[in-house]
Structure 1
Amino acid sequence: MVVDRLEKLRKSMKDKGIFAYIIPSADFHQSEYVGDYFKCRKFISGFTGSAGTVVVTLDDAGLWTDGRYFIQAENQLKDSTIKLFKMGEEGVLTVEEYLDEVLKKGDTLAFDGRVISAKEGNNYEKKYGEKGIKIVYEYDLVDELWEDRPAMPSEKAFLLDIKYAGESAEDKLSRVREEMKKKNATVHILNSLDDIAWLLNIRGNDIAYNPVVISSVVMTLDKVYYFVDENKLNQDIKESFDKIGVEIRDYFEIYDFVKEIKENETVLLDEAKVNYNIYKNIPSDVKIINEQNPTFIFKSVKNEVELENLRKCHIKDGVAMTKFMYWLKTNVGKMKITEISASDKLEELRREEESCFDLSFDTISAYKDHAAMMHYSATEESDCELKPEGMLLVDSGGQYFTGTTDITRTYILGDITEEEKLHYTSTLRGMIRLSKAKFLYGCRGINLDILARGPLWDIGIDYKCGTGHGVGFVLNVHEGPNGFRWKVVPERNDSCVLEEGMITTNEPGVYIEGKHGIRIENELLCKKAQKIGSDQFMEFETITFSPIDLDGVDPDYMDKSEKEFLNNYHREVFEKISPYLDEEEVKWLKEYTRAI
């Protein structure tokens, strides 16, 4: 099927004089996760991971993806004729380096300019224009092949009440306008969906698990133009928007709208977030300020109302996780449980809480060697039965009106090897060390990452991903600009100074292909600690509460402070979670939060 699609794509390319065609994972908004309509890269390659880029030439094809998906991609690309390029690995060409090798003067490089960022498009235009290579960006060639392509999303939107958001849309617009004035900007184009959702306190269901609305915003110092499918908006939303000067326009109208921006205007936009078509439609005599959207940092620093809601939310989420662990540990081997049925059970428990309206991502329920694939997703073909042996990794989260959660636990279902115990305990030690960090204000995630990796590096193990990412508030589970990783990855944009109020996950892991995978994840709130002289110290508050499976822990590998932290953490788990459990569950939890 993939080979046939590639053949048809190449015929279309040849007819249009195109030598190379780029198919990224993005939608028209540079979203990390996309709706079914936008899954062109999956359609053309068969690779289902969330991140990756396909380049097809008239005689070759390649897929670039990161370390989370190496094993998965190798399996899914078999017999496709598409080569896997493992991003970040030594000696592996980047997309740009590959294009440098295959493109020659007179060739045409093409892509759909709506799914390529202005930053990428401008880079290609500058680099290849100088080499006599033509850039074409008006074709969606995959659409020509995709006969049963899903429709554009049309889910209804809703307003997020201020009792959850903690700040009105009107006040948020004022804050952004103040930033515009500081930069002498008169127009701001906002095209990233989570930024728009945060700014207007609007949420939706246009992308699975990401409560956003497919839309764009152009704002001036006194007006907001909101480009959206109006059928998604109820009367309450329309009336609310009317009061704060938000004018509703058709979703696709933005491309013509920006053509009318006057030459005396100054436009603020982020080239990494605005698509190339929008950028190219702005008149050439208009001044453009290419800077990070003000909303990017604003939404990452949670206000006190959001934080209070989040703390409550994590207890509710922790109750579901704890009940799941009890059910799993007491029933495995006694009833049939599979990766998928375990995942379904956890979702059922989460949705018992009335404020939970969705999951925050597709649950990863991975048994034994399946867990070595960081983002494994069980299918009917791969779904396997859990036995009272080995380990089950469960990475999951919920969308609540009070917050967004992300938690991973690795459960011990029976006997495990000494090697697995070493790996499990080393992963736990890394998670604990980062949780305990005290650091000076001004530190970034890159300064602290070694705390999590250290115990694993000591035994010669690394994991091919970051240690943690920011989390949105009733928004995307992955959010910049904060994160933990050992080196700067520019396209991730997650290496900012850690600010008070930022939420970041802490999730080191071990992934041994063909054997096992282990990950333990809590969320951390960055907050101020003591100030000594002019030195402001910072620390983390753990806001995730669910037992860490002590059956995988060998205390002999841990030092005194690590054991003390784990014991204190488990004491808190028991205090916060036990009031919501029945008598048998409480008795069980007491055992699984015992001091070691």
Structure 2
Amino acid sequence: MMEVLKKLRNKMQENKIDIYLVPTGDPHGSEYPPDAYKYRTFLTGFTGSAGVAVAFKDEAYCWTDGRYYIQAGKQLEGSGFALQKDGQPGVLSPYDYVIKMAKEGDTVGFHGELLMMKDLQKLESQRPDLNFKAVDLMTDLWENRPSLPQEPMFILKNAYTKFSTLEKRDQVMEELKKHEADTLVLSSLDDIAWFTNLRGRDIPNNPVFLSFLTLDKKHLVLYIDLKKIDQEIVEYFEQQKIVVKEYHDFYQDIKKLKGKKILLDPSKTNALVYKNIKEKNQLIEAINPTTMLKAVKNKVELNNVKAAYVDDGVALVKYFSWLNQEVLAGKTITEFEAQNKLISFRKNIVDYIEDSFTPISAYGSNGAMMHYSAQKESAVIGKDSFYLIDSGGQYLRGTTDITRTLHFGQPTEEEKRDYTLVLKSHIGLANTIFLEGTKGSQLDAIARRPIWQYHMDYKCGTGHGVGYLLNVHEGPHRISRWTEDCPLEEGYIVTIEPGIYKEDMYGIRLENDVAVKLDGTAPDGTFYSFDMLSYIPFDRKCINPDLLTREERQWLNRYNEQVYDLLSPNLNKEEEAYLSIQTEPFSEK
């Protein structure tokens, strides 16, 4: 990998570039870019979903967050890039580091479609003495770079969405009026998919399609690869009054915009778009109105995803029962084989499309890497440590995301303590009632408290938003102490996933999805709570009931009763017996 860095520096010298930025992403600000845009991985060898590489003339660094410290430390070896642990005390963010270390007059280069508008604005405002140059130095270095995907698209019907694109158009235009904007330029793929009620397969596990969209009072224009359109979709576009143009026409068309009041989301708009329209138009910077609208799931969506979670839970219990039998029988089952077996159970669900992300199937110390990915030659699942499985499905009825940690032997007292602390954290937040206007960052400490009591912590957020047959990570909301977030609103879906990760030992994560619901009104305000969506058992033998309060045992017993009632009718005798053991009530005295 060091050779790639050397070639990049030669390109930098040819183009008189002093510093070159290689963020993770694509022209649409996607968390998981198509293979054709994985420039940072090509340059550094680090495969995690979050990170920014920065090459100076004599040094090079790659930043990533707490989910990937262990993984990045291993994968960056020999690349020439040193790991920077973003979020750790004393560690500057990549752009803050450039702001601090760049010399007056330096030229900072970047791929104009990969750097987001907000990041360029920050650099420009804080270091006006630097020169910023949009130049692609990477593509020529990348031999056999994958081509752009051309996967088919499909229409998501009203039975799954409630509102048509025409109806959503009225909602979006109303939001534009509130911002005194007359035009929307939309780049983010999940927003476009939600708006158009279309889905695609251009990015594995994310049912979106490469596209741009513009909207004003007269026209809704969708820029896509025209080869993806069949006759059914052509007719759909006519019905929904969607004008369709070739994907690569977008940049030429936006250059023609003049005198418009354009709403842009700086975190979801790339620097090239920004540069092409900022001179001749008035820019209004705000979160995409589509982002706010799609975050609030309507009753049709919530009812659908609740049903999907029952089927998803059945698949998981079948998987847990099978894996328990295989491991106890001494069968050799690797992490990779296990995750593929789980996928085979999900494929039996009638409206299953694909997984919502690559499963994290991790035994023992591999579980300490929060986003570990099992390869074909992976660890054998045994009885001496924890097995963590984080997985989810994409269904016509919605998107699921669930994590459970199991032990197929006899957990030690330390393992039981840690597992129970994570469970206490989960219950504590799941059982919380909170005032309207409360942000996820304010709820984060509630989940951490039981773990903090033992001087431990987890270096990631507690929860993230989840889309509806869309990205498994969806904003604008999340539960994390490291973010300036928005208040949680009724209809938001969010995960609750505290954990304990001990390097070279094990990882424990217990994750459910919940929806924010109205709990009641009072003189002091409106209060919300969480409506449980996920019903999958916890591993009973890993729980030390002495560490649970009476209220926590009551919550767990109620939850287990619901799990059994919902899932058992769809299980065979062996699977039902497994579930019965896992959901056996604890004494509430």
TM-score, structure 2 length as denominator? 0.98
Paired position in structure 2 for 1:22: 21
Paired position in structure 2 for 1:397: 392
Comparing 578-587 with 401-410, greater Cα deviation is found at 578-587
Paired position in structure 2 for 1:127: 126
Which of residues 197, 217, 225 in structure 1 aligns to 2:221?
225
Q: Could you list the runs of 5+ residues in structure 1 that have no partner in the other structure?
A: none
Q: Is the 8 A contact 2:321 2:574 kept in 1?
A: no
Corresponding residue SS for 2:138: helix
Q: Is the 8 A contact 1:267 1:287 kept in 2?
A: yes
Corresponding residue SS for 1:472: coil
Name the amino acid aligned to 1:589: L
Q: Is the 8 A contact 1:430 1:456 kept in 2?
A: yes
Q: Distance in 2 between matches of 1:539 and 1:71?
A: 35
Paired position in structure 2 for 1:430: 425
Q: Does 1:448 align with 2:448?
A: no
Instruction: Write out per-residue CA displacement over residues 242-296 of structure 1, whole angstroms, 9 at most, x where no aligned residue.
Output: 2222111111211111111122x21111121111111111151311111111111
Q: What is the CA-CA distance between 1:541 and the residue it aligns to?
A: 1.1
Q: Does 1:160 align with 2:156?
A: yes
Corresponding residue SS for 2:208: coil
Q: What is the CA-CA distance between 1:549 and the residue it aligns to?
A: 0.5
Q: Does 1:270 align with 2:269?
A: no
Comparing 191-200 with 100-109, greater Cα deviation is found at 100-109
Which of residues 535, 554, 564 in structure 1 aligns to 2:525?
535
Which aligned pairs between 1:2-17 and structure 2 lie closer than 5 A?
2-17=1-16
Q: Does 1:313 align with 2:303?
A: no
Which of residues 190, 204, 210 in structure 2 aligns to 1:208?
204
Q: Is the 8 A contact 2:564 2:580 kept in 1?
A: yes
Q: Is the 8 A contact 1:547 1:570 kept in 2?
A: yes
Paired position in structure 2 for 1:522: 512
Which aligned pairs between 1:338-353 and structure 2 lie closer than 5 A?
338-353=334-349
Q: Is the 8 A contact 1:435 1:540 kept in 2?
A: yes
Q: Distance in 2 between matches of 1:101 and 1:290?
A: 26
Corresponding residue SS for 1:460: coil
Name the amino acid aligned to 2:518: K
Q: Is the 8 A contact 2:95 2:119 kept in 1?
A: no
Q: Is the 8 A contact 1:261 1:283 kept in 2?
A: no
Comparing 270-279 with 359-368, greater Cα deviation is found at 270-279
Which of residues 286, 289, 297 in structure 1 aligns to 2:292?
297
Which aligned pairs between 1:363-402 and structure 2 lie closer than 5 A?
363-381=359-377, 383-402=378-397
Q: What is the CA-CA distance between 1:506 and the residue it aligns to?
A: 0.3
Name the amino acid aligned to 1:278: V
Q: Distance in 2 between matches of 1:582 and 1:21?
A: 58
Instruction: Write out per-residue CA displacement over residues 191-222 of structure 1, whole angstroms, 9 at most, x where no aligned residue.
Output: 11111110110100111100001100011112
Q: What is the CA-CA distance between 1:576 and the residue it aligns to?
A: 0.2
Q: Does 1:43 align with 2:33?
A: no
Q: Is the 8 A contact 2:461 2:482 kept in 1?
A: no
Q: Does 1:410 align with 2:405?
A: yes
Paired position in structure 2 for 1:566: 556
Paired position in structure 1 for 2:68: 69
Instruction: Write out per-residue CA displacement over residues 523-555 of structure 1, whole angstroms, 9 at most, x where no aligned residue.
Output: 111101122235212111111011111010010
Q: Is the 8 A contact 2:456 2:500 kept in 1?
A: yes
Q: Distance in 1 between matches of 2:50 and 2:347?
A: 28
Q: Does 1:260 align with 2:256?
A: yes
Q: Distance in 2 between matches of 1:218 and 1:89?
A: 39
Q: Distance in 2 between matches of 1:254 and 1:555?
A: 59
Q: Does 1:507 align with 2:507?
A: no
Name the amino acid aligned to 1:233: I
Which of residues 480, 483, 486 in structure 2 aligns to 1:489?
483
Q: Is the 8 A contact 2:441 2:483 kept in 1?
A: no
Corresponding residue SS for 1:148: coil
Corresponding residue SS for 1:410: strand
Which aligned pairs between 1:273-292 and structure 2 lie closer than 5 A?
273-282=268-277, 284-292=279-287
Which of residues 543, 546, 556 in structure 2 aligns to 1:553?
543
Q: Does 1:170 align with 2:169?
A: no
Q: What is the CA-CA distance between 1:342 and the residue it aligns to?
A: 0.6
Q: Does 1:471 align with 2:466?
A: yes
Instruction: Write out per-residue CA displacement over residues 47-79 of structure 1, whole angstroms, 9 at most, x where no aligned residue.
Output: 010000000122111000000000001111112
Q: What is the CA-CA distance between 1:333 and the residue it aligns to?
A: 4.0
Instruction: Write out per-residue CA displacement over residues 480-535 of structure 1, whole angstroms, 9 at most, x where no aligned residue.
Output: 112111x2424xxxx21111111100000000101110000001111011222352
Q: Distance in 2 between matches of 1:103 and 1:39?
A: 26
Paired position in structure 2 for 1:55: 54
Instruction: Write out per-residue CA displacement over residues 93-144 of structure 1, whole angstroms, 9 at most, x where no aligned residue.
Output: 321232134421232110011111111122223333x22x21110x221111
Q: Distance in 2 between matches of 1:392 and 1:414?
A: 11
Q: Distance in 1 between matches of 2:35 and 2:407?
A: 35
Q: Does 1:88 align with 2:91?
A: no
Corresponding residue SS for 2:534: coil
Q: Distance in 2 between matches of 1:280 and 1:353?
A: 46
Name the amino acid aligned to 1:241: F
Corresponding residue SS for 1:529: strand
Instruction: Write out per-residue CA displacement over residues 137-174 of structure 1, whole angstroms, 9 at most, x where no aligned residue.
Output: 0x221111111100001101111111011111111111
TM-score, structure 1 length as denominator? 0.96
Name the amino acid aligned to 1:123: K
Which of residues 549, 557, 576 in structure 2 aligns to 1:586?
576
Q: Percent identity?
A: 41
Paired position in structure 2 for 1:331: 326
Name the amino acid aligned to 1:135: F
Q: What is the CA-CA distance between 1:19 and the residue it aligns to?
A: 1.0
Comparing 237-246 with 553-562, greater Cα deviation is found at 237-246
Q: Does 1:32 align with 2:62?
A: no
Corresponding residue SS for 2:171: helix
After the TM superposition, which segments of 4 or more aligned residues of structure 1 sit over 6 Å from their partners?
Answer: none
Q: Is the 8 A contact 1:371 1:517 kept in 2?
A: yes
Q: Could you list the runs of 5+ residues in structure 2 that have no partner in the other structure?
A: none
Q: Distance in 1 between matches of 2:9 and 2:577?
A: 64
Name the amino acid aligned to 1:186: D
Q: Distance in 2 between matches of 1:422 and 1:534?
A: 38
Q: Distance in 2 between matches of 1:262 and 1:107?
A: 32
Name the amino acid aligned to 2:28: H
Pairwise CA RMSD = 1.2
